[in-house]
Amino acid sequence: MRNSYDLEMTAPNRPSITHSRLIVGLEIHVELATRSKMFTRTPNVAHPDNFDASPNTLVDPVVAALPGTLPVMNRRAIEMSMMVGLALNCTIAARCKWDRKNYFYPDLPKGYQISQYDLPLCADGWFDLTLADGTVKRIGIIRAHLEEDTGKLGHELPGGIAFDGSLVDLNRAGTPLLEIVTAPDFATADEVVLFAQELRTLCRFLGVTEGIMQKAHMRFEPNINLALTLSDGREVRTPINEIKNLNSFRAVRGAVEYEVDRQRTEWIESGREQGRGMKSTRGWDDVAMVTLLQREKEDAHDYRYFPDPDLVPVEVSAEWRAQVASEMRELPTARRGRYVAAGIGEKDLRQLMDLPTLCTFFDSAVAAAGGATASTAVAKIVLNAGSRHANERGVAVADLGITAQQIAELVALREAGSISAQGADQLFGLACESSDSVQVLAAQAGLLVNNDLGQLEAWVDAAIAANAQAAEDVRSGKMAAIGRIVGAVVRQAGASVDGKTAQAMIMQRLGKNA
């Protein structure tokens, strides 16, 4: 993606565009995975225990806004929000308050949303974004404030049957929601998507959200406009358009790229420029890959904000802030740097960093195997055999049943040449079902490498005889053919012979130098 958009266009009675520059700011809504909702003890749909809750089962009088109910703050939601704010280098307010944001919508039972307006919990932060070319771009964080989520509207009956009306599900209503607002510092769609990905990783590693996009645990709303340089030397800006509720990186990229062309074309046709009352809200059609006008954007005064009379302000002491900071886990940037220093390659690094629980299990196995020097050997076992078995069983690697100590024992056997690559995979599967030591499991299953050279020679000679053409190809220098002979040896010996050892013996028997 280019960092600017250049073109030459003309329109009747209007200067042509000589250059256009994309300007994007992001609003990100993060559903916090607390056990209960923001202002009531009702279970929270964003917590893993409640993912499969039936519609409208996570509702109590507070969520339903029945007369006489009063909200009570969720302390853990405030602490999770502080963690994100600290990770984004924000100032944590010593005092913040709650406000009522008034608007009417079918999935908002009270007719208002409890939010934070002029005194947010976190403000004035930044995030250093490492771009594809290795340069670092600092993205400003204007604020991160805590509020409650709304419910959800659906338009399908059970079984996927289309429904003309709207079906209201209040399970999501009242979920703690952290809204993060960036400065308009993004200049390309690539930068927007990269930041969205990095923020998701950050929040997941902090343990504040599960970050499952399909469940709308994170929703991205880019505010997009263009700075147009005209042939008469002026610079004008197109009206800002906010694209609502994008819950995939594909949608984020698609919406930004579509708006570049749409806003450019709209200015050529209408000449509309940024100004008071000109901001619009648009939705995203994920099938047609276009944005659609929803409404002209409200200004802050349209929401009639006022302090919520039922909630006291939040006072954050230095001691509370320090206690929250002490609970924070290792941030992704630091963890990534540690893995690179230990020799983890880019492909393995991406796989590890995709899942916080995998990183935790990996670190435990590395520690059991002797520390950072064992990182690459542990990664080979965990990311190859571990991922394959996890996919087959439909669970995470950390939930397979194999322990960090068993991983360490398996690595030691493999490094010593006591088991083959095929044997290591089989042994991994056995360890998932047993608490016995890996050495015992390997002996019981006959997976220890056979060091009887006479027996190995017999297997190799039989394999060469059965694959005469492949043997001749190897003798003539066509080394790719050796794989057929190695495979024949392994089929005879099972996991009790290592492929590399077998290949060395084959080369010797065929009169080739290894």
Q: In the structure encoding, which two tokens stand for residue 420, read together?
A: 């083959």
- 91 is a domain residue: yes
pLDDT tens readout for residues 384-429: 999 999 999 999 999 999 999 999 999 999 888 788 778 888 899 9
Contacts of 68 (CB under 8 A, 6+ apart): 61
Q: What is the pLDDT of residue 8?
A: 43
- Band the pLDDT of 118: cuts 50, 70, 90: very high
- 2 is a domain residue: no
Residues 488 and 364 in one domain: no
Number of structural domains the chain divides into: 3
Residues 264 and 244 in one domain: yes
Using only C-alpha atoms, what is the Rg of the chain? 30
pLDDT tens readout for residues 212-265: 999 999 999 999 999 999 999 999 999 999 999 999 999 999 999 999 999 999
CB 29 within 8 A of CB 46: no
**Nearest residue to 380 via CA among 419, 347, 353:** 347
Residues 280 and 335 in one domain: no
**Nearest residue to 471 via CA among 486, 450, 459:** 486
**Nearest residue to 381 via CA among 397, 401, 399, 360:** 397
Query: Last residue of some domain: 265, 286, 304?
Result: 304
Residues 363 and 223 in one domain: no
- 496 is a domain residue: yes
Query: What's 291's DSSP letter?
Result: E
Could you list the residue range(s) of the whole structural domain that residue 496 is in?
453-509
Residues 467 and 440 in one domain: no
CATH (domain of 466) = 1.10.10
Whether pLDDT at 162 is above 90: no
pLDDT tens readout for residues 277-291: 788 999 999 999 999
CB 178 within 8 A of CB 144: yes
